[in-house]
Amino acid sequence: MSDEMPSWASAYGMALLAVLWCLLLYGIRRFHSGDGSRFFLVYNLALALIPLILSGGILFSRTTKITLLFGVPWLLFFPNAPYLMTDLIHLRPRPEIPFWFDWIMLLSFSGTGLLVSCLSLAQVHKRLMSLMSYPLANLAVLCLLAMTAFGIYLGRFPRWNSWDLLLRPAAFFSETSQMLFRPDLHPRMVFYSLGVTVILGIAYFGPLSIFQSLATDDHRS
């Protein structure tokens, strides 16, 4: 573990700076306007950090049992990180704060959610590559992104959350199974999930391919 931690330190540092930046923006807005209606952003940001903690356990686990111990709750909470992107729908002119400030704040929370998502997924991806071939690991990540997109849909439209799977499992599985087995009755779910899967795939695999190209060039030089 000690050999691998330094390679992740800069990424964790960047995520920490992004989180602090978001909290600073929220604090300025709250102090300036006295309006606490945007506190849900801080709550959603806290939820987004849970999968990052769990993925660290997955990355440094040495047995399948430990991987599953962290992996199951990670799968449950991971959609909370990219879910922050959907909070951009709350952007609208408000009298208590300049529109441009809310735009910067919401975009910062959204970007931080995406950053945390990619960092957490990269740790899981690395663990998967130690268990299977590189192409299979990529395919597994793509499947995870599709499941995540469906989870984001469940949170944004039917308003399900990660806790409902534990607190109301019967109702949760009843509604979600209907969507999955009769997608023809839920076209919005199909196209929304597909679109978000593509966005997440580009956001993750795009930078990954750039970093791999840079690493290849370094080796050649």
User: Over the stretch 106-115, which tens digit does the pLDDT of each residue have?
Assistant: 999 999 999 9
pLDDT of residue 8: 87
What 8-state DSSP symbol labels residue 132?
S
pTM beyond 0.85, yes or no: yes
The greatest distance separating any two alpha carbons of the chain, rounded to the nearest whole angstrom, comes to 58
Residue ranges for the chain with pLDDT beneath 50: 1-3
Task: Judge contact between 97 and 33, C-beta under 8 A.
Answer: yes
pLDDT of residue 26: 97
pLDDT, tens digit, 9 for 90 and up, residues 38-85: 999 999 999 999 999 999 999 988 888 999 999 999 999 999 999 999
The Cα 152–Cα 207 span in angstroms is 22
From the list 124, 115, 129, the residue with the least C-alpha distance to 207 is: 115
pLDDT of residue 217: 61
pLDDT of residue 211: 83
pLDDT of residue 1: 45
pLDDT of residue 2: 44
